[in-house]
Each structure stands twice: as structure tokens, then as C-alpha cells.
């Protein structure tokens, strides 16, 4: 059982490193900081919702899912992000 726990922790750390490297690479390619990249995407999503109200229902459901994720512990939050991607 201990082996499985160690293996699972290692795999999770590898997945987190992989996601972080992808985000860093995208920021590098766009010549932005990671914070700028996130804020730009938030703004794009907001503008898209504002322009197209038909997406409001889907947006509200995603927002509920997001709230669920971020109010949980850090480990569970990362697991849920990985599952959604």
C-alpha cells in the first residue's frame, strides 16, 4: 500500500510539473508573464460572455464547478483541474 501511495504522489507531482511547464511555455511564447497570461484569458472569457449571452448558462455551471474546486484543499483542487483537462 505504501508503494502505491508513493507512486501516486510521484505521478501527481510529475503532472503538476508538466502543467506548469506548459503554462510557462505559453507565457514565454507570447512574451508575457504568467500572471499577464491568466489575466488576459480571464478578460477574454469575460468579454466573450458579455458579447454572447447564450453562453451564460454554461458559464454559470463552469463557475459553480470552479468554486467547488478552489474551496477544496490544494491537493484536491489540483486533482480536479487535472481531471477536467
For residue range 7-66, what is the model confidence (pLDDT) as tens digits?
Answer: 888 988 998 999 999 999 999 999 998 888 888 888 887 777 767 666 666 666 666 666
Name the pTM for this structure.
0.53
**What local confidence, expressed as pLDDT, does residue 78 receive?**
64
**What local confidence, expressed as pLDDT, does residue 17 receive?**
92
Q: How far apart are CA 6 and CA 81, in angstroms?
A: 21
Residue 40 CB partners (closer than 8 Å, separation 6+)? 32
3-state secondary structure of 45: helix
**Residue extents of the structural domains in the chain:** 2-84
Amino acid at each position: 500500500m505504501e508503494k502505491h501511495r508513493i507512486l501516486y504522489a510521484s505521478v501527481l507531482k510529475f503532472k503538476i510539473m508538466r502543467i506548469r511547464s506548459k503554462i510557462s511555455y505559453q507565457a514565454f511564447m507570447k512574451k508575457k508573464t504568467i500572471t499577464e497570461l491568466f489575466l488576459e484569458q480571464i478578460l477574454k472569457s469575460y468579454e466573450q460572455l458579455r458579447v454572447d449571452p447564450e453562453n451564460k448558462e454554461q458559464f454559470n455551471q463552469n463557475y459553480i464547478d470552479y468554486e467547488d474546486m478552489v474551496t477544496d484543499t490544494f491537493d484536491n483542487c489540483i486533482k480536479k483541474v487535472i481531471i477536467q483537462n
